[in-house]
Each structure stands twice: as structure tokens, then as C-alpha cells.
Amino acid sequence: MSKWILVICYILLAPFIGGLLEGIDRKISAKMQRRVGPPLLQPFYDVIKLFNKETINVATAQTFLILTYFILMVLTGVMFWAGSDMLMCFFILSTAATFLYFAAVVTSSPYSSIGAQRELIQMMAYEPAVLLTCVGFYLAAGSFNVGDIAQTSVSYLVYLPGCFVAFVFILTIKMRKSPFDTSTSHHMHQELVKGLTTEMGSKNLALFQVTEWYENVFLLGVIGLFVVNTNPISILAAVLVILAVYFLEILIDNSSARMKWQDMLKITWILTFFSAGVNLVVLMIMK
């Protein structure tokens, strides 16, 4: 029963939490640059405005593809919070990302297409770390089910510090933060105009934004899974760890320039191998 409450909470609250986190992100970023910054609710103002604008579709299929991206992303989160198979969650997440790729290339705009290709390279970069993290949870808990994984007396951070580091690292890619924001270029005036989202306007862009919020809440939930155990106080600890990780991402975003995709792929794979891979080997020997 309680898991369905979590699922309903996720569906209803995730956009608000995600939007609020983005508002905090923009505010903290502004403070780091000694600016006043936009109001906390700015992301909501943006999305509401976008929903009220005229729809111009470059390709009619785009709306359908983004809608599929949205539904699959919500489904990923629902499966995670319902405590079902973690591997399946990440497979559906990858499927969702593929639909985003199609939504970008269907317009055949050069900026959008190059952004989409970079998105695929980003997927290639982060996917090994995601899979190794899942395997790590399996080795430590003996199950892929999120519900079983959460029932532990000791936090997984003790068993999986390497996987945690790798997962936080790829979170920078997933959240489209600065050294790795090759596919969308979310800061103003950059090489690819708006990359992946160049041909998305009004409602489509708003839906894309809301989907990103759902995704962020899901990913931060996975971070929380590293911390929670049967002790209720651990939930508070998980929230604190999530906020700390989010702050770290903002810090990285504001203090680094964009990388080439070759460097991104190399660094991510090397780090994944040495941190998550070694962690798994050690765990196998010890168990």
C-alpha cells in the first residue's frame, strides 16, 4: 500500500520538486556569479508561458515523440518508486532517451541533428556506469528489486563507495551540466544554438522541460537509495546527501568549461572502470 502512495506522490509532486530544484539551481548559480538572479519560481513561469504560446511544428511527429519520451520517463520513475526491477527502470530510461533522439532528428535541422548525435554519445558515456551500479546493488543486496534493496540494515554507501562516485559523475551528464552539456548547450549563445532542443518551441519545449524535472527527481532518488536503510532517520540523511550532491553539480556547472565529446567519453569510461569496476571486484572477493 505504502508504495502506491509513493508512486502517486512521485507523479503529482515530482514536477514541483524538480522545478523548485531548478529554481534553486538558477538562484545559487546567480549568487556564485555575484548576480541577483531570477526569482525562485522562474522555471514555472517559463513553462507556463511556453504552454501559452502558439504551436509551430517543424515536423508533426515531434509532438508524438516528445509525448512518448514524457510518458516513458514518468513510467521509469513510477517503476522505481513502486520498488520494482532496477535494471528494467534503466532500460526504460534508455528507451525514453532514444525517443528524445528521434524527436530531435525528425526535424532534420542541422543544429538539432548534431545535438541528437551528441546525446547518443552521452548515452554511450554514462550507460556503463549505470549498469555497473545496478550490478553493484545486486551483489550487495542479492536482488535487483528496488523494494528489496531498500530493506537493508546498513547503507549501501558502505559497500558501494566506488559506484556512488561513478553515479554522481555521470549525473553531471544526465543533468546536462556544464563540462558535459554538449547536446543542449543550456547557457546562452553557444555553438549549437540550443542543440537538441533547437526545433522545439512552445508546448513541446514545455513538455521537454517537465520531463527533465521528472528525470532529475528519479535520478536523485537513486542517489537516495545509496543512503537509505531500515532506520527512519536514514531518510533524512538521504535527503541531505541528495542536496549535497545537487549543490556539487551546481558548483561543477559554474566552475568548468565544456569538454569535447572525445574527452568526455574517455574520462567517464576510465573513471567508471576504476571506481565502479574496482568496487565490484572487491565486493565479489569479499562476499
Partner 1 sequence: MANITRSPWLLHYDGSSCNGCDIEVLACLTPVYDAERLGVMNTGDPMQADILLVTGGINSQNQDTVKQLYDQMPRPKVVVAVGVCACTGGVFKDCYNILGGADTTIPVDVYVPGCAARPQAIMDGIIKAVGIFQQRSNEYKAQVKEKKKAAKKGAQN
| Chosen residue from 4, 8, 13, 52 binding partner 1 by CB under 8 A | 52
Interface with partner 1 includes 61 (CB under 8 A)? no
Interface with partner 1 includes 254 (CB under 8 A)? no
Q: Minimum Å distance from CB 39 to partner 1?
A: 8
Interface with partner 1 includes 42 (CB under 8 A)? yes
Interface with partner 1 includes 105 (CB under 8 A)? no
H, E, C per residue of the chain: CHHHHHHHHHHHHHHHHHHHHHHHHHHHHHHHCCCCCCCCCHHHHHHHHHHCCCCCCCCCHHHHHHHHHHHHHHHHHHHHHCCCEHHHHHHHHHHHHHHHHHHHHCCCCHHHHHHHHHHHHHHHHHHHHHHHHHHHHHHHHCCCEHHHHHCCCCCCCCCCHHHHHHHHHHHHHHCCCHHHCCCCCCCCCECCECHHHCCCCHHHHHHHHHHHHHHHHHHHHHHHHCCCCCCCHHHHHHHHHHHHHHHHHHHHHHHCCCCCHHHHHHHHHHHHHHHHHHHHHHHHHHC
Considering the complex, state which of residue 57 and residue 94 has its C-beta at the smaller distance from partner 1.
57
Q: Minimum Å distance from CB 197 to partner 1?
A: 8
| Chosen residue from 35, 151, 158, 230 binding partner 1 by CB under 8 A | 35
**Who's near 163: CB < 8 A, 6+ residues apart?**
129, 132, 133, 136, 137, 226, 275, 276, 279, 280
Q: Minimum Å distance from CB 213 to partner 1?
A: 16
Candidate segments 144-152, 185-193, 260-268, 270-278, binder of partner 1 by CB under 8 A: 185-193
Residue 255: all three cell numbers together:
566552475
Q: Minimum Å distance from CB 15 to partner 1?
A: 13
Q: Minimum Å distance from CB 49 to partner 1?
A: 4
Candidate segments 17-25, 155-163, 189-197, 259-267, binder of partner 1 by CB under 8 A: 189-197
| Chosen residue from 22, 181, 199, 212 binding partner 1 by CB under 8 A | 199
Integer Cα distance of 175 and 84 in angstroms: 24
Interface with partner 1 includes 267 (CB under 8 A)? no
| Chosen residue from 55, 230, 231, 256 binding partner 1 by CB under 8 A | 55
Considering the complex, state which of residue 188 and residue 233 has its C-beta at the smaller distance from partner 1.
188
Q: Minimum Å distance from CB 198 to partner 1?
A: 6
Interface with partner 1 includes 30 (CB under 8 A)? yes
Which residues make up the interface to partner 1 (CB under 8 A)? 26, 30, 33-39, 41-42, 44-46, 48-50, 52-56, 188-189, 193-194, 197-202, 205
